[in-house]
Amino acid sequence: MAFIQGVIIMLVLASAHNGISIVEAQLDPGVCYGRQGSNLPPVSKVVAMYKQYGIRNMRLFDPDLDVLTALKGQQIQVTLGVHNQDLPKLVVIDAAKSWYNTYVQNFPDVPIRLIAVGNEVIPGEFSQYVLPVMQNFQTIISSSNGTVIGVTTVVSMDTMSATYPPSSGAFKAEASSVMTGLLSFLASHNYPLLLNAYPYFPYAANPGDVSLAYAQFTAPGPVVHDGGLDYWNLLDAMVDSVYAAMEKVGVPNVAILISESGWPSAGNGDFTTAGLAATYNQNLLKKFSSQTGTPRRPSNKLTGYIFAMFNEDLKPTGIEQHWGLFYPDGTPVYRVFG
């Protein structure tokens, strides 16, 4: 069984005035478990596959009772998502308590490490609810002695108005105030921001200017020079553009955890082959396991989740159906783990 070197992210359970100390929770590189497929294996087999391949961290996009039940006692750490459409009702503390009791409190032997409040809702119609819901969950967690859970949200590069060069990174005007508020919350509790970042998309959109080697961690030397910083791969540059945006809104001290990254194995001609997907995801795992940071934040060890566990046939046709490391029958599309 493959062993994946863990990294430590400090999770604060509550602010200092509540007298609750800082505790440590280990978050290993993991894989997103998407379930939009008509022919996916039963949950029990999926959990067995995570253990077989040494995948010790799972991102769940929604709180599914069958999945949580199957994870009992399996020592697979979980980042648990909150449905975007549930955010408006969870601004009421009693509704948040009910959600927490149902999906977290009732599963004490499932190591849920992070609650992700919404997925890519900033900017957008649900963005106004993210921070109040995060605050509600923090209030609940703070009253649960010994609970090691952080609260955060998932953003995409769509929050950005500028990303190149990385030092020019800035949030869109319509996202800036919301991002400032939630980043201040994350900083006060030492929680990470979750970021969906895919070098595939800028490469496929503009292969003349974005080299394949830069997108796939295979460049023989620095490709982008930004002030005194050199960038050998596009993922580091994307992450650092978000760090630069944080600095511009006055909240620079929040770590980034990659909540999704990957490469499709089919759906867009020569841009999407199993070989290219294997190269990217193998190198992404090496990056996550190396305990290295980015040029702008070398001490913030970058880790996260590969997207995704399976090819999912209920998604739109094209690349969306081909992000999986495994076919639905459990055979690898290409080797990354084990």
Structure tokens at 304: 């996260």
> To the nearest 10°, the Cα dihedral for 308, 172, 191, 67?
-30
24 noted as active-site residue: no
260 noted as active-site residue: yes
Residue 25 to residue 191: CA distance in whole angstroms: 11
Q: Is residue 304 a contact partner of residue 258, using CB atoms and an 8 Å limit?
A: yes
Residue 156 bridge partners (DSSP):
196
Helix (H) or strand (E) run with residue 116 in it: strand 112-119
Which of 24, 125, 247, 260 is flagged as catalytic? 260
Closest by alpha carbon to 79, among 50, 46, 56? 56
Q: Is residue 224 a contact partner of residue 237, using CB atoms and an 8 Å limit?
A: yes
Residue 109 to residue 97: CA distance in whole angstroms: 19
The DSSP letter of residue 310 is B
Q: Is residue 291 a contact partner of residue 5, using CB atoms and an 8 Å limit?
A: yes
Pairing of strands 150-156, 112-119: parallel
Q: Is residue 261 a contact partner of residue 284, using CB atoms and an 8 Å limit?
A: yes
Which of 24, 120, 125, 247 is flagged as catalytic? 120
Q: How far from 62 is each of 173, 284, 309, 317, CA to CA, in Å?
A: 29, 24, 15, 22
> To the nearest 10°, the Cα dihedral for 46, 52, 57, 60?
0
- Positions annotated as catalytic residues are 120, 260
